[in-house]
Structure 1
Amino acid sequence: MARLTRAQQQARTRAAVLAAAVEEFTEHGFAGARVDRVADRAELTRGAVYSNFPSKRALYLAVLLDSVERTAASGAPAAGTAGDLDLAEGAEAFARAWLERLPLTGDTSDAGKLRSRSLTGVFDDEPGRTAMAGLAGLDGLLVALALESCRAPAASRRVRLAEVILTLLHGAGHLAETAPGFGDPFEVVRACRRLAELDTGDAWDPPHLPYVAAPHSCRDAWTPPDEATDAITGRPVRFDDGGVIVVLGTGRLGAAEEAVRAARPGEPVIVALVTDDPAEIGALVRLRVADLVLCLRRAFGTAIGLPLRLVHDDRAALAAAVGAGTSESTEAAVRVRGGRIIARALGRGAAHAAATAPTSVEGSTGTDEA
């Protein structure tokens, strides 16, 4: 038998650890699970487990992300594409996709939490709570943008609608964990459909935007990474096509909408997600984005026409190219054209500032050398 390469051996070890961890978390839940028992189940040492996953929390997140990826690979057909669905149909399709995760009748409490990809009690510290809040807002934006692309009598912002739908769905998920058998998922789906009729008076008018400072005009060299993958569509993203590039920490994810709303029609908007804790907060970000995107794809198809590209900048390569940090409060943005950075902004409002910057290379002079 041919000897396994180092990469093959690492992949085999990782798979063994994940399989053992599923058994451990299913039997004991997150709080009761122990890494030494995972190692025993996998017939490995504790060191082998920790060399792949630096903490129990990182291991739990990896198990949940593996579940999302396996579900995505099953290839369930989408309800339709956003343009083929009206607003009520889109809300219903998303709710159906989201509720597929609910525990089954015969599931134990811990098995049900694993199936529903529950994070209850997993992130109780402040960095985790900050990340969870930011990711909830990002979820709302992504669902809203999908709903906004549905057929409707008039174009309108749908973020409040998306947030109400997500609140209802998360409530249903929590009740499924704590009070199994309560409620009817089909009624929840119908309620989400009816919510599409709700007049939320949703207008985009953040009070701080008129006071955002103008970006710094420049002609800096632009040397980004070769390419990355769009977490929404799974397609390659190149950074030399121009447009607006925004780097956000978990505490500033709400600024993604500022870039999307201010960008010119059809203009590329790339949002890069960064963290200085890739092992846990970074894994949380990947999980939450992948989980939400799975539901969007099942509801609206794989070619989701959202007006932004989402990139996990795990190694901070794009952040370094922009000149940004990786803390939870990071917000930095640039406008790129003709292979150069023509505008820079940093701090609160940076995403809006870069998106509204002039598209000419010389900024306010109006000279366009591209």
Structure 2
Amino acid sequence: MVRLTRAQQQERTRAAVLAAAKAEFTEHGYALAKVDRIAERAELTRGAVYSNFPGKRALYLAVLIEVAGGVASEPVTPPESVHDALENFARAWLERLPLGGTAWGGRLQLRSLDGVLDDEHAREVLAQAARLEALLLAIALEAGEPGRRVRLAELALILLDGATHRAETAPGFGDPFDLTHACRHLADIELKDSWAPPHLPFVTPAKPYADTWDAPGGLVDQISGKEADLASDGLITVLGAGRLGAAEEAVRSGEPVTIVVVTGDPAETGSLVRLRVVDLLGCLRRVFAPEVWHQVQLVLDDDALVASALGLTDPGDETEAAVRVEDGVIVARSSGRGAGHAVSVAQKTTQKTTRKATP
């Protein structure tokens, strides 16, 4: 008999719980599902379930993440225009939806959060995650043609989120071909998108530093699926789940940026963010080549390894901090609102000063 290690046994138990939970949610839906029945399905004790997941919502989100992560990526032909990109993205999004009615299994496929986010904080996090989603889609759209396209990305996601909700509440209503056509022509709307947040001129300047940067390893860049490179030159911005909308402040620097997401509640809040990221990237990869995000990495740091390495104490959902790394040294750092912008501006100022001082 092969004796399993403790880690292997824990992984097997977790897999059994997830399989049982998926069956329970498929049969009964979220509201009527019972943790006791999940334990019975997995042939485990109730305590064994709770040792892996703190509650039913955490279990449900974990099941949705597994469903979303099961979408296969395919080789893509880069879109020739923003119109093509939006149409192809809409098609990839809509192909995830069930063809028939919305029995409970179909609602898993829809990534339904109906009745799940029953508190204000969770809804606020979902709104911040939506801003991060729009930024990731906008970066891809901007790769083909210059100009900020975040508002365009937001419109597309609102339309497609609405289609998902309608598929749940009124299955069969709406023609997917009409929706993809509508998304294509969103690019014709003149939105006069610009990047000028009113608070940025008042952000506290970053502080100069000269600390050796000991970058943690083993973290995954969600965009590429490869190990994140945290040691190279660029900006690292650490954002709590309630501050994800600030990611653009670092991205607009034009420099390599690593967005690190932290939370005080990895099992639920962290899983909600992970679900949205995994689901969106599954669609994006079917339309865009990974190179369109070559300046951006996205790390979901459930264990706050990066925050700890940066000396941030007790990182939570409202964390906002950033550093600039050069040649293995942290040369500037900032915390609080506008931290990513403050660090990028400090770096640009340093470069300007260096150029002027050079004969």
Question: Are residues 1:334 and 2:323 paired?
Answer: yes
SS state at 2:298 partner? strand
Which residue does the alignment assign to 2:68? 68
How far does residue 366 in structure 1 lie from its aligned partner after superposition?
7.2
Question: Are residues 1:164 and 2:152 paired?
Answer: no
Amino acid of the structure 2 residue aligned with 1:7:
A
How far does residue 62 in structure 1 lie from its aligned partner after superposition?
0.9
Which residue does the alignment assign to 2:52? 52
1:283-336 Cα deviation digits (max 9, x unpaired): 111111111111110111344435311111111111122233422221101111
SS state at 2:19 partner? helix
SS state at 2:172 partner? coil
1:108-155 Cα deviation digits (max 9, x unpaired): 1x22211111112212212211210100100110011111112x4xx1
- 1:218, 1:344 within 8 Å by CA — same for their partners in 2? yes
- 1:130, 1:250 within 8 Å by CA — same for their partners in 2? no
5 Å-filtered alignment, 1:211-290, equals 211-263=202-254, 267-290=255-278
Whole-angstrom distance in 1 between the partners of 2:218 and 2:68? 24
Question: Are residues 1:148 and 2:142 paired?
Answer: yes
Question: Are residues 1:313 and 2:301 paired?
Answer: yes
Question: Are residues 1:323 and 2:323 paired?
Answer: no
Whole-angstrom distance in 2 between the partners of 1:93 and 1:359? 37
Q: Which runs of 4+ in 1 moved over 4 A?
A: 359-368
Whole-angstrom distance in 1 between the partners of 2:340 and 2:42? 46
Of 226-235 and 271-280, the range deviating more from structure 2: 226-235
SS state at 1:202 partner? coil
SS state at 2:195 partner? coil
SS state at 1:298 partner? coil
5 Å-filtered alignment, 1:84-233, equals 84-108=79-103, 110-150=104-144, 152=145, 155-233=146-224
SS state at 2:293 partner? coil
How far does residue 55 in structure 1 lie from its aligned partner after superposition?
0.9
Question: Are residues 1:296 and 2:296 paired?
Answer: no
- 1:223, 1:321 within 8 Å by CA — same for their partners in 2? yes
Structure 2 unaligned regions, length at least 5: none
Name the count of aligned residue pairs. 356
Structure 2 length normalisation: TM-score?
A: 0.93
Whole-angstrom distance in 2 between the partners of 1:217 and 1:365? 15
SS state at 2:188 partner? coil
Whole-angstrom distance in 1 between the partners of 2:177 and 2:185? 13
SS state at 1:280 partner? helix
1:176-216 Cα deviation digits (max 9, x unpaired): 00011111111111110111111111111111112222211
Question: Are residues 1:347 and 2:336 paired?
Answer: yes
- 2:101, 2:172 within 8 Å by CA — same for their partners in 1? no
Which residue of the other structure, out of 328, 352, 358, is the alignment partner of 2:347?
358
Of 312-321 and 296-305, the range deviating more from structure 2: 296-305
The structure-2 alpha-carbon separation of the partners of 1:354 and 1:105, relative to structure 1 and needing over 3 Å to count, comes to same
Whole-angstrom distance in 2 between the partners of 1:100 and 1:336? 41
Which residue does the alignment assign to 2:77? 80
Amino acid of the structure 1 residue aligned with 2:100:
T
The structure-2 alpha-carbon separation of the partners of 1:291 and 1:357, relative to structure 1 and needing over 3 Å to count, comes to same
Which residue does the alignment assign to 2:12? 12
1:2-24 Cα deviation digits (max 9, x unpaired): 23333332222222211211111
- 2:210, 2:330 within 8 Å by CA — same for their partners in 1? yes
